[in-house]
């Protein structure tokens, strides 16, 4: 695993607060330096508490632009939608201006959805996207975003967003995902991982032998070097470094 800092929090609630604090400080710095903050949210369940904590804060919402690290190929109203989760937990509650919400269109045919998002990124960033902050989760199989073991998206070097057929029992067999070159171009990358059920895979990814094809989260290595794991004590239980 690329060199990374590990931040162990006592509980999921402490993790949510620590992550929200990090969001706020990254946001303040980005707006001070560039007038806007471009953040990519991860999906799944872990980020919800952080998003709900952010909804209680007075942040410069008109200057914050929300993107996603990945999305299930479902509509925005679908209970499996990552956008839908963030909308309920934060976006609607904080009154984020709709033009600042750049969702992946999971309702489109997957490849069309990937093309659409790549174009949206090109329009917003004009050059290769450099996010101020990208959030990621860790799946039980070592996937992150929708970069799943043994899937074609792992090998993409010239696209910012791709459709990825992940199969299996995951919420939707097709996904849209940012690619490694896009994620690794970010100024900051933060993994949020919690729960005893993640202890084994976290140890494998962070302390085990490098095998990106098998453990795609190991392929996250931002050129900026600012990679941090925010984890709770339960998930950290098997780590040597504590
Ligand atoms: C998704 C993801 C995925 C998620 C991990 C962890 O769309 O599901 O973005 O990569 O972050 O699977 O999910 P949990 O937070 O639910 O454990």
Q: Find out whether the beta carbon of 143 lies less than 6 Å from any atom of ligand 1.
A: yes
Q: Find out whether the beta carbon of 216 lies less than 6 Å from any atom of ligand 1.
A: no
Identify the CATH assignment for 5-232 out of 3.40.50.150, 3.40.50.10300, 3.40.50.1360, 3.20.20.80. Answer: 3.40.50.1360
| Local structure of 15: helix, strand or coil | helix
pLDDT (0 to 100) of residue 183: 98
Name residue, tokens 């800092």: 5
pLDDT (0 to 100) of residue 225: 82
Domains of the chain, residue spans: 5-232
Q: What is the CA(72)–ligand 1 centre distance, in A? A: 10
Of all residues in the chain, the percent with pLDDT exceeding 90 is 94
Helix residue spans in 55-125 (DSSP H): 82-86, 92-94, 110-125
Is the alpha carbon torsion for 229, 234, 237, 238 positive or negative? negative
d(CA 213, CA 233): 27
Q: What is the CA(35)–ligand 1 centre distance, in A? A: 30
pLDDT tens per residue, range 23-35? 999 999 999 999 9
Residues 6+ apart with CB under 8 A from 31: 37, 60, 63
pLDDT (0 to 100) of residue 167: 79
Q: Which residues of the chain have pLDDT under 70?
A: 1-3, 169-170, 242
Contact 171, 74 (CB under 8 A): yes
Q: Find out whether the beta carbon of 82 lies less than 6 Å from any atom of ligand 1.
A: yes
Q: Which residues pair with 66 in a beta bridge?
A: 39, 101
């Amino acid at each position: 695993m690329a060199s990374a800092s590990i931040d162990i929090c006592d509980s999921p609630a402490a993790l949510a607060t620590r992550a929200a604090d990090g969001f706020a400080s990254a946001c303040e710095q980005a707006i001070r330096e560039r007038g806007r903050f471009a953040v990519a949210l991860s999906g799944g369940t872990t980020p919800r508490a952080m998003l709900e904590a952010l909804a209680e804060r007075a942040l410069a919402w008109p200057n914050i632009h929300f993107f996603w690290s990945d999305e299930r190929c479902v509509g925005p109203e679908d209970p499996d939608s990552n956008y839908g989760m963030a909308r309920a937990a934060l976006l609607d509650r904080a009154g984020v201006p709709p033009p600042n919400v750049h969702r992946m269109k999971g309702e489109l045919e997957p490849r069309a959805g990937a093309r659409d998002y790549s174009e949206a990124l090109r329009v917003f960033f004009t050059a290769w996207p450099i996010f101020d902050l990208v959030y990621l989760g860790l799946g039980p199989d070592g996937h992150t975003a929708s970069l799943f073991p043994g899937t074609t998206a792992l090998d993409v070097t010239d696209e910012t967003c791709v459709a990825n057929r992940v199969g299996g029992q995951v919420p939707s067999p097709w996904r849209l995902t940012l690619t490694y070159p896009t994620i690794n171009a970010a100024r900051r990358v933060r993994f949020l991982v919690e729960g005893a059920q993640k202890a084994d895979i976290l140890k494998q990814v962070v302390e085990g032998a490098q095998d990106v094809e098998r453990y795609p989260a190991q392929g996250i290595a931002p050129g900026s070097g600012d990679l941090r794991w925010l984890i709770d004590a339960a998930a950290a239980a098997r780590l040597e470094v504590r």
